[in-house]
């Protein structure tokens, strides 16, 4: 099994190298790892003991961020090192102020992992949600470094619980403690003999609650919205945008904000063609906000990264993209602001989406007709307020995972 794992890692790296010839993200992934261990060796102060946080991408960073920030506030002497697997996390957070160093995670080979752990010699290591790397886990175990998984979520279809999952189960044996989001995850782990588990919840709730209480003011978005009711399409894909576009003629008094999941020239140009009476966020920022028609633009296209979580403060209804693809994106950011949430049919793997629906705070649609029906219902203020209040209450009632984890490690590792 380990042979297949190592072969898979090398094959993935080779494919990235091939794709990088035409794909900017893949090129960044490859370039960022060139000579990475040498750069780490020259950067690290071996007299310091570091706390290592690893995140797959930007979403996982935001998930683990409340833990990192509270730890740094409680223990300012702690030196933080962050690693990312994906360029979408590293490129945006490479200058993050609370981290002493931010690196790409070197490719998971035995030699890379052992050298990295030896150089860093972390006090503890914290991995978030889905990140499991065999050689890093083994190297941390051999180095006697406590390793924690936070906001873990497990499902019976995962390899951990299959006949062929011995390698995955071995990795869990090297984890000092697993903090999971729900009791179902704990029960699944117990079934394979993993009992060092605590149900603490999801740290994302702490993050989105903080964000809703401390949003960043975005003046140009506020001015675009004015006094109009606002429909926000967050992390959308082309399939989402097509059905949203059919609402504009039905609701001419509403303003629409479209924040695509991927921001690149082709995507933005495609959205501009679909929403003719639109203006780009970057154009408003440069005061080039004259619409292509004689009337004020009805649609604002967000062609900037990292501001969606604060844009929700200006909304009345949120549509979260991804539900017509592999799965929906972050529903909690909008829910924390008290917005009713709509998304496509592929949501069942996301516990928070299922529970938001159960609480009357979210609604799923399978086509444009169902979206029109939900919009008709939520355009009525009393329905919107009721669902939005349920959304906010759901978020507020599920906070506390950050402190649960920190209480544990303060007792064990920060005496």
Give Cα separations from 7 to 21, 69, 85, 86, 164 (angstroms): 22, 37, 18, 20, 16
276 and 326 together in one domain: yes
Residues contacting 278, CB < 8 A, separation 6+? 258, 271, 272, 291, 292, 297, 298, 299, 300, 301
Neighbours of 382 (CB within 10 A): 7
Q: Are residues 71 and 108 in the same domain?
A: yes
Residue 232 in any domain: the answer is: yes
Cβ(51)–Cβ(81) under 8 Å? yes
Taking only Cα atoms into account, the Rg of the chain, rounded to an integer number of angstroms, comes to 22
What pLDDT shows up at residue 292? 43
Interatomic CA distance for residues 116 and 113, integer angstroms: 5
Least confident of 245-249, 283-287, 307-311: 283-287
Give me the mean pLDDT over the 269-285 stretch.
93
The verdict on 299 and 165 lying in the same domain is no
Residue 289 above 50 pLDDT? no
Say whether both 220 and 173 belong to one domain: no
pLDDT at residue 291 tops 50: no
Catalytic residue positions?
60
Q: Are residues 180 and 316 in the same domain?
A: no
Average pLDDT, the chain: 95
Q: HSE-up of 355 (CA within 13 Å, CB side)? A: 14
Task: Please say whether the dihedral angle defined by the alpha carbons of residues 322, 327, 329 and 335, taken in this order, is positive or negative.
Answer: positive
Model confidence pLDDT, tens digit, residues 134-171: 999 999 999 999 999 999 999 999 999 999 999 999 99
- Over residues 113-135, the pLDDT tens digits come to 999 999 999 999 999 988 999 99
pLDDT value, residue 294? 42
73-96 pLDDT, tens digit per residue, is 999 999 999 999 999 899 999 999
Count: domains in the chain: 2
> Are 182 and 253 found together in one domain?
no
- Best CA proximity match to 133, nearest among 59, 54, 191, 228: 54
Residue 295: pLDDT band by 50, 70, 90 thresholds? low
Which pair of tokens denotes residue 370?
A: 């169902």
Phi then psi dihedrals of residue 80, to 5 deg: -100, 130
- Residues 22 and 95: beta-carbon distance below 8 Å: no
Residues 283 and 327 in one domain: yes
Which range of residues forms the domain containing residue 116?
34-201+400-413
Q: Per-residue pLDDT averaged across 279-300, rounded?
A: 73
**Residue 193: CB atoms within 10 Å:** 9
pLDDT digit string, tens, across residues 180-233: 999 999 999 999 999 999 999 999 999 999 999 999 999 999 999 999 999 999
For residues 233-259, average pLDDT: 97
Say yes or no: 274 and 175 in one domain: no
- What is the mean predicted confidence (pLDDT) over 315-341? 97
In this model, does residue 288 exceed pLDDT 70?
no
């Amino acid at each position: 099994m380990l042979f297949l794992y190592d072969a898979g890692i090398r094959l993935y790296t080779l494919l990235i190298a091939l794709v990088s010839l035409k794909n900017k993200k893949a090129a960044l992934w490859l370039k960022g790892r060139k000579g990475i261990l040498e750069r780490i060796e020259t950067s690290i102060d071996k007299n310091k003991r570091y706390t290592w946080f690893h995140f797959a991408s930007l979403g996982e960073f935001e998930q683990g961020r409340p833990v990192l920030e509270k730890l740094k506030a409680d223990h300012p002497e702690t030196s933080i090192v962050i690693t990312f697997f994906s360029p979408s996390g590293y490129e945006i957070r490479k200058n993050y102020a609370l981290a002493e160093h931010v690196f790409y995670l070197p490719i998971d080979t035995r030699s890379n992992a052992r050298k990295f752990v030896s150089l860093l010699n972390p006090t503890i290591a914290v991995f978030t949600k889905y990140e499991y790397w065999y050689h890093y886990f083994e190297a941390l175990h051999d180095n006697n470094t406590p390793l924690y998984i936070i906001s873990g979520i497990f499902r019976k279809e995962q390899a951990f619980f299959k006949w062929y999952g011995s390698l995955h189960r071995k990795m869990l044996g090297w984890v000092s403690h697993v903090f999971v989001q729900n009791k179902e995850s704990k029960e699944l782990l117990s079934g394979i003999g993993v009992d060092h588990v605590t149900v603490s919840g999801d740290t994302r709730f702490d993050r989105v609650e903080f964000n809703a209480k401390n949003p960043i003011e975005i003046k140009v978005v506020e001015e675009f919205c004015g006094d109009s009711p606002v429909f926000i399409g967050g992390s959308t894909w082309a399939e989402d945008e097509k059905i949203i576009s059919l609402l504009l003629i039905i609701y001419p008094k509403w303003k629409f904000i479209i924040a695509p999941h991927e921001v690149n020239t082709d995507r933005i140009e495609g959205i501009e063609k679909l929403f003719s009476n639109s203006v780009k966020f970057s154009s408003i920022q440069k005061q080039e906000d004259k619409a292509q028609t004689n009337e004020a633009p009805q649609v604002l296209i967000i062609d900037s990264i990292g501001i969606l979580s604060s844009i929700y403060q200006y909304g009345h209804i949120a549509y979260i993209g991804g539900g017509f693809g592999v799965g929906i994106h972050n529903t909690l950011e909008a829910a924390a602001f008290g917005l009713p949430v709509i998304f496509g049919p592929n949501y069942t793997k996301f516990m928070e989406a299922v529970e938001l629906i159960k609480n009357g705070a979210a609604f799923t649609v399978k086509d444009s007709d169902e979206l029109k029906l939900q919009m008709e219902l939520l355009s009525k203020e009393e329905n919107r307020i009721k669902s939005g209040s349920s959304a906010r209450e759901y978020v507020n009632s599920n906070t506390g995972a950050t402190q649960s984890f920190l209480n544990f490690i303060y007792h064990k590792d920060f005496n």
